[in-house]
Chain A
Amino acid sequence: MAGLTLRDVKKRYGETQVMHGVDLDIEHGEFVVFVGPSGCGKSTLLRMIAGLEEISDGTVSIGDTVVNDVAASKRGVAMVFQTYALYPHMTVYKNMAFGLKQAKTDPAEIDKRVKAAAEILQLGDYLDRSPRNLSGGQRQRVAIGRAIVRDPEVFLFDEPLSNLDAALRVQTRLEIARLHERLGNTMIYVTHDQVEAMTLADKIVVLRDGRIEQVGSPIELYERPQNAFVAQFIGSPKMNFFGPGDLAVNAAAVLGKELPTSQQVGLRPEHMVISDAANGVVEGKMELVENLGEYAMVHMITETGVEFIAKTEKPPAAKKGEVISFTIKPELAHYFDAETGLRS
């Protein structure tokens, strides 16, 4: 059983501190996704778990062992890199066998494991090829295969899909989900793509500026974001925010509460419905409609100059520049402190 425990983990580069005391518990077999904007420290945190980056302070434990001073290869983790990082001078077979060879594994055992991994990843026909003769998706599968053969306690993925094109990304995402189901190992996955996070994760960790903003299941994060940052980061298009002055006259009646000046209200674009002025929570001039067939993105601007987006089933009948009102079910409105951004 190999869960993972991070206690007050800090990272400093010289004078600059980039991770500010991260606490996190990961259960055995969980699929955990680290998300956050670039520079939030998600990759650094993963690399600290991997053993590629020194831990300045705090402890990382895998199972019951503190691994701060354990070499990367002895931690029982395997990593899949964004750039695949295959050894270009070795065949697919040798790429996968290399780690086992370093560990002086019996050649028959190496062969068995490499063939088994190749079978899972449908790489059987490519074992003698060199990485340069493979497509991006195949290379990524080899990189995953290289991780599988080592039979690690924990898989680490560092933005594994970002070098693939859109169609392949969806397919590989599914393969990774299937792989997790099949192997049942703990997996930690770094991405900036919230769709990957929402679809793959048992648990999402949202990071910003080297701190954890929220940990929770995808649906928890979507339904009850603990602060404005998480609220905006999860969900696409992102949540709209309004201050008391930006709302329509009847907003208090519809929402069932008067919005104090110390608060702001967050409304998800997909929850907003076109209504008459009497039931409107917000209203604004229509600026642009993007009609995608299955739904439409209506870009609006309020009288006070706040831009917002509504996602509607059909494009509105109104023309550009006309005023439209939107309403929302009161229970779908999120309230945050205007100053701290915390949920209130």
Chain B
Amino acid sequence: MAAVTERSNFGKIAWPIVAWIVALIFFFPIFWLVFTSFKTDADAVKPEHLFRFTPTLENYTNMTQNYDYWKFAINSVITSTFATLFALAVGVPAAYAMAFNPSRHTKDILMWMLSTKMLPAAAVLYPMTFLTKNFLGIFDTHFLVIVVLCLINLPIVIWMLFTYFKEIPKEIIEAGKMDGVSTWGEIKDILIPLAWGGIASTALLTFIFCWNEAYWTVRLTTIDAATLSKLIEGNRAPEGLFFGRLSAVSTAAIAPIVILGWFCQKQLVQGLTFGAVK
């Protein structure tokens, strides 16, 4: 008995410490980024000015003077929001159909959807750029970014929603059928209210994934539809001399999503555990 108690006491102290250390490791780059954004470009690379420097807002004022930060930010908001909405508009009915009217092939279809995530993005870079630029003429448009963001997130959206919908007893949907609800009514009046938490978590995660996406948003846009990822990319000097400026831009780019994430922590944890905790 005594041994067990001692061990659990040890665990009570040790595990939080481990958790804090891991959390700090994850948090450190963000801290460093924000810290550096208040240094001049010159200070940013000098080891002797690691902690001793005069804080400055120069990088931020430069940023707003040299670039239209708000344009990039608004593009990010527009593309992430619409991509999320479209992904849900397709994902909710798809997951509903697979959760409540499964066929022999439902599992295969789900696996196939997930397998599309295994495709190396670089492999389709050339066709995507060529087709959108020379053939479809939609290069650097909001439309293209929204479609691409929506499609790359769709598999994960459907998987998450499917997992949530699976937790709803089939009988409740059947009771709806007996009560004469249409298919749309089943989704609107029964499914969505019951899976609201899951749908919100899915939406939030998708929005974050869209916001953070950089591979395609950088490569498929130039000016008009460029998002904050593109703004960061644009400030990346090959010589690596403008760390202060780059840090300020990056901080400004991630700030909205970090704040959003902070306020929605509970939903996010629920979303990331895929409904396993209940």
Residues of B within 8 A of A103 (CB): 180
Chain A interface SS verdict (over half): loop
Q: A194 CB to closest chain B CB, in angstroms?
A: 25
A87 to B174, CA, bound (A): 11
A183 to B155, CA, bound (A): 51
Given the known interface contacts A73-B180, A74-B180, A98-B179, the answer about A85 and B190 at a Cβ–Cβ threshold of 8 Å is no
Asked if A229 lies at the interface with its beta carbon under 8 angstroms from chain B, I say: no
CB of A85 within 8 A of CB of B179, answer no
A329 to B180, CA, bound (A): 56
Q: Assuming A81-B175, A87-B175, A98-B189, what are 4 further A-B pairs, CB within 8 angstroms?
A: A73-B179, A81-B171, A102-B179, A102-B181
Name which residue of chain A comes closest to B174, CB basis.
A52
Q: A141 CB to closest chain B CB, in angstroms?
A: 15
Residues of A within 8 A of B176 (CB): 87
Q: B269 CB to closest chain A CB, in angstroms?
A: 22
Q: Which of A154-212 contact B (CB under 8 A)?
A: none
Asked if B185 lies at the interface with its beta carbon under 8 angstroms from chain A, I say: yes
Residues of A within 8 A of B178 (CB): 50-52, 72-73, 77-79, 99
A73 to B183, CA, bound (A): 13
Q: Which among A51, A73, A86 has the greatest number of chain B C-beta atoms within 10 A? A: A73
Asked if B177 lies at the interface with its beta carbon under 8 angstroms from chain A, I say: yes
Q: B175 CB to closest chain A CB, in angstroms?
A: 4
Asked if A312 lies at the interface with its beta carbon under 8 angstroms from chain B, I say: no
Contact residues on B (Cβ < 8 Å of other chain), bracket: 10 to 19
Name which residue of chain B comes closest to A89, CB basis.
B193
Residues of B within 8 A of A82 (CB): 171
Asked if A1 lies at the interface with its beta carbon under 8 angstroms from chain B, I say: no
Asked if A293 lies at the interface with its beta carbon under 8 angstroms from chain B, I say: no
Residues of B within 8 A of A87 (CB): 172, 175-176, 190, 194
Residues of A within 8 A of B (CB): 14, 50-52, 71-74, 77-79, 81-83, 85-89, 98-99, 102-103, 146, 150
Q: A238 CB to closest chain B CB, in angstroms?
A: 31
Asked if B169 lies at the interface with its beta carbon under 8 angstroms from chain A, I say: yes
Q: Which of B152-194 contact A (CB under 8 A)?
A: 169, 171-172, 174-181, 185, 189-190, 193-194
Given the known interface contacts A83-B169, A89-B193, the answer about A71 and B180 at a Cβ–Cβ threshold of 8 Å is yes
Residues of B within 8 A of A102 (CB): 179-181, 185
CB of A85 within 8 A of CB of B175, answer yes
CB of B179 within 8 A of CB of A99, answer yes
8 residue pairs, one from A and one from B, having the closest CB atoms: A73-B180, A99-B179, A85-B171, A85-B175, A102-B180, A89-B193, A81-B171, A85-B172
- A79: contacting residue among B169, B172, B175, B194, CB under 8 A: B175
Q: Which among B179, B185, B189 has the greatest number of chain A C-beta atoms within 10 A? A: B179
A196 to B181, CA, bound (A): 32
Residues of B within 8 A of A78 (CB): 178
A77 to B174, CA, bound (A): 13
CB of A83 within 8 A of CB of B171, answer yes
A50 to B174, CA, bound (A): 10
Name which residue of chain B comes closest to A14, CB basis.
B104
A81 to B170, CA, bound (A): 11
CB of B194 within 8 A of CB of A85, answer no
Q: B50 CB to closest chain A CB, in angstroms?
A: 56
Q: B237 CB to closest chain A CB, in angstroms?
A: 55
Name which residue of chain A comes closest to B170, CB basis.
A85
Per-position binary interface string of chain B over residues 104-126, scored 1 when its CB falls under 8 Å from any chain A CB and 0 otherwise:
10000000000000000000000
Residues of B within 8 A of A150 (CB): 179
CB of B180 within 8 A of CB of A85, answer no
